[in-house]
Amino acid sequence: MKFSRHALLPALILTSLSAGAADTTATPNPLSVHVLNLQTGVPTAGVKVELEQQQKTGWVKLASGTTDSHGRITALYPAGEAMPAGDYKVVFKTGEYYKGIGQPTFFPEIPVVFHAEKSGDHYHIPLLLSQYGYSTYRGN
């Protein structure tokens, strides 16, 4: 059986679209953070953040990152791994950030300890930051 080039084109396009769609079904990262500067009202880029997990031996560092130009780290948990239920600590290195921009701060780092209820959920930790205060909550 012979096929013309024109008859194969739609099949090739569908195959390409199907292959691309498979990439979008990857498991999303279970943990993200966001830092917003309360003094300026804009996202805070350049804040180093560490993630730790409470284990029998104490706190164990799992990952780290730096907030992007939108003040976000969209994937803080180690890539490709499920986040089991348990206690975690996100540490915002605010002292390093403020030193870098030449401003003082009262809080050299801000540890946010939270409990992950179950594996498979997404956890978002926003930090509303100023030099002498902060607020945080469970975001979505």
SS3 content of the chain, % helix, strand, coil (to 5): 20, 40, 45
Report the 10 Å Cβ neighbour count for 92.
25
- Whole-number CA gyration radius for the chain: 21
Q: Where does 1-140 show beta strands of DSSP type E?
A: 31-37, 48-55, 58-66, 72-73, 86-92, 110-116, 123-130, 133-136
Domains of the chain: 29-136 (2.60.40.180)
User: What stretches in the chain show pLDDT beneath 70?
Assistant: 1-27
Of 65, 71, 57, 74, nearest to 124 by C-alpha is 74
What pLDDT score was predicted for residue 80?
87
What pLDDT score was predicted for residue 28?
84
Decide: helix, strand or coil at residue 83: coil
What pLDDT score was predicted for residue 26?
60
Phi, psi of 6 (to 5 degrees): -70, -30
What pLDDT score was predicted for residue 119?
85
Answer positive or negative: Cα dihedral of 101, 109, 131, 67: positive
What pLDDT score was predicted for residue 10?
46
